[in-house]
Amino acid sequence: MADFYQTGIVATLHRLRPKDYQRLEREMCQFADESRVGLVLPALYSEFETPSMGQIVAELRHVRFIREIVLVLARANYEQFMHARSFFKDFPYPVTFLWVDSPRVQVLLQKLNENRLDPGEDGKGRSCWLAYGYLLAKGDIDVIALHDCDILNYDRELVARLCYPIVNTNFGFEFCKGFYARVSDRMHGRVTRLFMTPIVRAMESLAVGNPFLRFIDSFRYPLAGEFAMRSSLARMNRIPGDWGLEVGVLAEVFRNRATSRVCQVDLSDNYDHKHQVLSEDDPQKGLRRMSTDIAKSLFRTLGGEGVVFTKEHFRTLQIRYVRIAEDMIARYYADAILNGLSFDRDAEEHTVHVFAQSLRDAAEAYIEAPLATSLIPNWSRVLSAIPDFGDELAEAIRADMEAQPPVAS
């Protein structure tokens, strides 16, 4: 059962009446002209080979308030690009495919590098950034929403609840973050439960009263991949190109908007998507890579806020993190057993050990190069340096959508 308790400094919008989609959509349609919604879907081609994509497409077909979908397709050849487009045949509203591996798009990415505007590595961050640029160039979208494409139990109410707090201008919100429970016969969300929350609270021991840490700790699921924002904010925000995307987005929102303009919303009773491997032996993959990038993003943000980190600070932080994470495991154990869930305490302890290694790796990287950043320049800077770039991106996408043969790179 949902509660109505307000945690921290970020407004929390709860799910007090389940299955309220008809009312939500009716009101969303009333707001549609003054708050036009564009939905960004970052996807790998492999996700079109899973049941989740078919479910998402089937649900979105019935949504009436979205002005346009931009599906950013990565790791796909030309035939796969065309096959993915067939999923949206005869869709009731426009669906634009941004094919990241298109030779046309690759030429534009190279142009950015030549102008000292690093667009980052291939990944979700760059995909989102490209979609924002396209929608900003078109200029006919007021609200940009985003959700992942690996959601196994997708329901179109999710996107309605995600967008409503921004579309309803009476609320005054400009950024909305989704949250949800992730439970099957056991608890999921290991990076959030066993790394993100403990490391933020451990950092508070080194930076007591830090406003950014208080802001981050106010989110019930800070690593959720679902958020919506005003297009003006998308123009200003820099986007991390690595696994620190969700933390980096929150850091940019904290920097660019007052807390009173930010909210979080309960999207669903439960949420299930693909589960990443821990990858304990390879720091460049899986949850090991994810936790390292998250830690580096936190260090960079706090450094920018004036927090000083030395080797001694990091040693203390690692010890403090492990202690808090172990205490959290005891809480999760009690919660799981009370609710009749399976709980592998040894596996949880081992995961904390692996995340402690990630924390150490991130600390070493930060000390060696504190100014190193994975942030992609915001669109205000790009368009200042290359005024026609948005139009060039839109033209490349249009040419690919017309199914013209791809040009040689």
Residues 6+ apart with CB under 8 A from 236: 252, 256, 378, 380
- Label residue 406 by pLDDT band (50, 70, 90): very low
What is the pTM (predicted TM-score) of this model? 0.93
Question: Would you say 95 and 71 are in contact if contact means Cβ atoms under 8 Å apart?
Answer: yes
For residue 395, is it within any domain?
Answer: yes
Query: Could you give the strand order of the β-sheet that contains 95-99, starting from the edge strand earlier in sequence?
Result: 11-13, 262-268, 175-180, 227-230, 143-146, 37-44, 66-74, 95-99
d(CA 343, CA 347): 9
Q: What domain range is 111 assigned to? A: 11-187+207-273+375-401
Question: Is the pLDDT higher at 235 or at 271?
Answer: 235
Please check whether residue 219 lies inside any domain of the structure.
yes
Domain of 176: which CATH number? 3.90.550.10
> Dihedral (C-alpha) 104, 106, 111, 115: value to the nearest 10 degrees?
150
pLDDT tens, 58-110? 999 999 999 999 999 999 999 999 999 999 999 999 999 999 999 999 999 99
Report the share of the chain in percent with pLDDT over 90.
78
Better-predicted residue by pLDDT, 349 or 245: 349
3-state secondary structure of 61: coil
pLDDT at 247 over 70: yes
Average confidence (pLDDT) over 336-364: 96
Per cent of the chain over pLDDT 70 is 97
CA distance 328 to 271: 22
Q: Does residue 167 sit within a domain?
A: yes
As a whole number of angstroms, the distance between CA 290 and CA 366 comes to: 16
Task: List, in order, residues 6 or more apart from 261 with CB less than 8 Å away.
Answer: 172, 173, 174, 175
Residues 294, 307: Cα–Cα separation, whole Å = 17
pLDDT tens track for 178-197: 998 888 889 999 999 999 99
Structural domain total, the chain: 1
* Inter-CA distances, 264 with 17, 164, 169, 250, 370, Å: 17, 11, 16, 11, 31
Q: From residue 265, how far is each of 81, 176, 273 by CA, in Å?
A: 33, 7, 19
**Do residues 62 and 80 make contact, with C-beta atoms less than 8 angstroms apart?**
no
| pLDDT confidence band for 404 (50 / 70 / 90) | low
Closest Cα partner for 144 from 168, 174, 118?
Answer: 174
| Closest C-alpha to 269, from 7, 6, 14, 8 | 14
In a domain? residue 336 = no
Nearest residue to 220 (alpha-carbon basis) of 187, 263, 254: 263
Radius of gyration for the alpha carbons in the chain, expressed in angstroms and rounded: 21
At residue 408 the predicted structure's pLDDT band, cuts being 50, 70 and 90, is: very low
Segment 195-222, tens digit of pLDDT: 999 999 999 988 888 999 999 999 999 9
Asked, for residue 146, whether it belongs to a domain, the answer is yes
Residue 365 within any structural domain of the chain: no
When pLDDT is cut at 50, 70 and 90, the band that residue 394 belongs to is very high
Alpha-helical (H) ranges within 168-196 are 190-191
Of 316, 195, 174, 199, nearest to 249 by C-alpha is 174
Instruction: Please name the helix (run of DSSP H) or strand (run of DSSP E) that holds residue 99, with its range, or none.
Output: strand 95-99
Average pLDDT over residues 276-300: 89
As a whole number, the mean pLDDT across the chain is 92
